[in-house]
Amino acid sequence: MKDSQVVILPIVLWMASCSSTHQPTTPEDTKLHQNARAAGVAFSLDRPEEAATQYERALERARARDDADAIGDYGYDLAVAQLTANHPKQALATIRMTRNELARRGVVSFPELDLAEATALYRLGEKAASNTLATKVAAGNDPVSAARARFLQGLIADETGDAAGLDAAISYFSQPASADQQADGDELLARRDLRRGDFNAAIAEAERCANLRRTGLDYRGMARALSVAADAQVHAGNTRAAAELYMRAGQSAAAQGDPELARRWIKRAADIGNDPVISEAARQAIAALGAP
């Protein structure tokens, strides 16, 4: 498995006493673990493209040894790296290939892999299919994956105008078990209050969520929360504050390698801003992103 430690291959020692009870240690695949460690280091240094390359090598090695556990581990890790690098189509293909590889070896899928597929589908705009998978994960026995699936259900409910679904997701986070769940609950509350016209509450909740996401190193989620705060500021009539928030969200998305989201938010900053400094910064940022 991916968390095991590499052991030194045993050297058989001929000892004077033939009563030795030492048994040879089962060798591990050093090449596989080297690739996996290199991938983990790259991912921790925010180099998801490099991490994906190394996880692909680890996955290839896992196939070579016909190791179902390793195939599941590194197939999932590769998909996460691809999602982080903003390649949801590649991630979706990896997830489905991994599930097929597991089935070929008589192993069923696992909640984290299903959640990754739901996330990839959501990122690709396939919200109905994403919600179906998220519902399955939310009903499962893995509490961490279930919580993330509930949040994804809440996002989809908000974006499809399902007020009851959004309320149901919010109720799940009424007693958060972690800072991540607190951030999830705050974002969903902000989205609901924005819909209800309570703009000041939405601003406060979205900004609190952004701070929690920043602390948790979830920069994609942070940028999304900033955009929700910006939406609320627009409705509250605070166009300058909204433009600044859109710029911050867009700059974060650009730095994360997501030009589509970056362009969308920075363009909003340019469209509503009446400050020449913000307008010029937005113009330069859009130019730096290049043609869509």
How confident is the model over 128-178, as pLDDT tens digits?
999 999 999 999 999 999 999 999 999 999 999 999 999 999 999 999 999
pLDDT tens track for 93-133: 999 999 999 999 999 999 999 999 999 999 999 999 999 99
- Statement: residue 19 has pLDDT above 80: no
Q: Please give the share of the chain, as a percent, with pLDDT higher than 90.
A: 80
Question: How far is the C-alpha of 190 from the C-alpha of 229, rounded, in Å?
Answer: 8
CATH for the 179-292 domain, from 1.10.10.10, 3.40.50.1820, 3.40.50.1370, 1.25.40.10? 1.25.40.10
Q: Residue 28: exposed, middle, or buried by beta-carbon count in 10 A (0-12, 13-18, 19+)? A: middle
- Statement: residue 209 has pLDDT above 80: yes
Give the number of other CB atoms < 10 A from CB of residue 277: 8
CATH for the 32-109 domain, from 1.10.3470, 1.20.120, 1.25.40, 1.10.10? 1.25.40
Global pTM reads 0.86
Domain extents in the chain: 32-109, 119-172, 179-292
In Å, how far are 4, 37, 54, 182 from 27, measured between CA atoms?
Answer: 12, 17, 22, 44
- Statement: residue 179 has pLDDT above 90: yes
- Residue type at position 234: V
**187 close to 228: Cβ distance less than 8 angstroms:** yes
Question: How far is the C-alpha of 158 from the C-alpha of 137, rounded, in Å?
Answer: 19
